[in-house]
Structure 1
């Protein structure tokens, strides 16, 4: 997924994540559009490659989980299985609209590395900006010094959690909700 996708809103994960079954991971790549190009070469399919190699060799994947509640993101890392990792908080602001496409705000996602938690628990609040909207997510990279590290993210939170239009309700629905 791209944080600046032209076709899917930044927090679209919330509409499908809970319906996915089994082992599941998510990665939003900051400052990219739908094609994922122009990502400074930092990502270059490394995490996908790491995951693929782990699956075909039946190797253990990193153990962590995350959740979102209102404007906060929580992440827990199992230190007994994962001792080498870094966590970054990424945020971007659009002073006018709920639009985080690269075409609208440029490459404006900024990362802050979080201090390591002794117990592997992290909690961040995506504070509401003075004007407009702010989006944020947590990114975790396991074995960051490896040539091909695992990188995953939480879902993205947008605050305030409002939309510029009300829900559309068809006068003549053709399906079920």
Structure 2
């Protein structure tokens, strides 16, 4: 999977082949086919791994902020989303392009639903800090805003993920979400 990820980042999906991946991984093509019947299966495995890693970051961040006031919690969640997207932004970009091609949009939806539910539970526990708002809608709005901002930075504004840029992005996204909630 590491070889697949590196080739996708360096050369793109169309230039990747099972032969190149096997060569880069240092395994025979026969061994590769024992576990992955095609290039698409390898890409799906990389997408699944990447999604699991992102969800682990999201779960850990939400557990960490469970008792924090809204503004502090949102700041940490935005910072965690940016940190997760900074891990391998080029891979994230390539995988984002490949998800529709592989038919794995459902997995992203599962990730989103779980994150919305976790964030909604946080909001429920901090209702006294919020304006009167539909918590389902608020969770959707906040999670979507945070994900859209960080995801778009990865895809189109990678300079915003530099240390200085990330700090400004955290500040502004925190302001956006907390003002919406209050």
> Normalised by the size of structure 2, how large is the TM-score?
0.23
Structure number with bigger Rg: 2
TM-score scaled by length of structure 1:
0.23
- Going by fraction, where is helix more abundant, 1 or 2? 2
